[in-house]
Structure 1
Amino acid sequence: MTTKEFLNQPFELQRLIKIKEKRIQCYRELASCPASPSFEPHYAATRNTKAPFERYLEKINVLEEELINDYAKLEYLKHEVDVAIDGMEDPIEELVLRYRYSKLMKIGDIAREMNYSHRWIKRVHARALEHFERSHPSSPSDHC
């Protein structure tokens, strides 16, 4: 695992969490909508006795349990990344990495927070990644 992949783990997990939250929202909407009756005659060998909204409620419960685990894992990954960032030589680089990978802030938000230009923060970020990779060459592979 490269340094960038190690640092981006919380971002990837956050993305998956957002997808699951959207799916839960869709299932809630489907569960609250009445099912339309079917007027077509058809034969079903095994009749489904569950109401349609019950399937959606079951899916919601499964996804919510997964989300609980994902949130716990996200906090663990953020802490792991935060510990790896500790001890950077340049405090500005350390702060930029901490904002970006522990607090999951966008570059533009970091620039506003630190009162610097977007371009300058991008340069500091690139430099910080190089220094992080040099000072922590084995840390990403140790955490796998």
Structure 2
Amino acid sequence: MSVKEFWEQAINLDAAIASHVAKLDNYRRLAMRIDGSRLEDHVSHSAPNEAPYAKWVERIVDTEKEVDEEIDKLVDVKIAISKFIDGVGNMRWQYILRSHYVMCLPWPQIADELGCSLSTVKRDHNKVLAYLEDEKTVNRYDPIKKLV
């Protein structure tokens, strides 16, 4: 796994969590919906086994468990990324890396906070990436291999 792929784990997990949260909102909305087909008189010889919202509640519980597991993993990944970034000697590089890969800030916002152009931030990012892709630098950091 390259250094950049390692860093992007946090961004990818953050996006996955956001997707699951959107799915949870949809399930909650469906669970609260009044099913119009139940309002009519039906001739039925057997009573329904469960409430119409039961399947949505079950999906909500399952999805909440998935979100909790992903959040735990995200915290672990962000801690590992932060420790890795702490090993970078240049404070500006640390700020750029931490802002983007730990705090998930977009590049333009990082550029604004640093008071420089977007191209300068991306150039600095490419410099630190080239520096860290050096085989010696990557191999000295064991947690990358532990998280894979």
Question: Could you tell me which residue of structure 2 aligns to residue 83 of structure 1?
Answer: 83
How far 1:47 moved relative to its partner?
7.2
Name the counterpart of 1:71: 71
Equivalence for 1:137: 138
Q: CA deviation at 1:142?
A: 4.6
Deviation of the 1:48 alpha carbon? 4.9
Q: 5+ residue gaps in structure 1?
A: none
Please give the secondary structure, in 2, of the residue aligned with 1:137.
Answer: helix
Question: In the TM superposition, what are the counterparts of 1:14-53 in structure 2 within 5 Å?
Answer: 14-37=14-37, 48-53=48-53
Name the counterpart of 1:114: 114
Pairwise CA RMSD: 2.3
Q: Residue 137 of structure 2 aligns to which amino acid in structure 1?
A: H
Alpha-carbon distance between aligned partners in 2 of 1:65 and 1:48, rounded to the nearest angstrom: 28
Structure 1's 142 and 55: CA in aligned 2 closer, same or farther, altered over 3 A? closer
Following superposition, the deviation at residue 136 of structure 1 comes to 2.7
Aligned residues: 142
Change (3 A) 1:90 1:50: same
Partners of 2:129 and 2:103 in 1: how far apart? 16
| Alpha-carbon separation, structure 2, partners of 1:125 and 1:100 | 10
SS at match of 2:36: coil
Unaligned runs of 5+ in 2: none
Q: What are the superposed Cα offsets for residues 4-32 of structure 1, whole Å, 9 maximum, x if unpaired? A: 11110011111110110010000111111
1:20 and 1:59 map into 2 onto residues whose CA distance is 11
Change (3 A) 1:128 1:37: same
TM-score, normalised with respect to structure 2: 0.85
CA distance, structure 1, for counterparts of residue 55 and residue 126 of structure 2: 48
4+ residue stretches of structure 1 with deviation over 4 A? Answer: none
Q: Partners in 2 of 1:133 and 1:37 — Cα distance?
A: 61
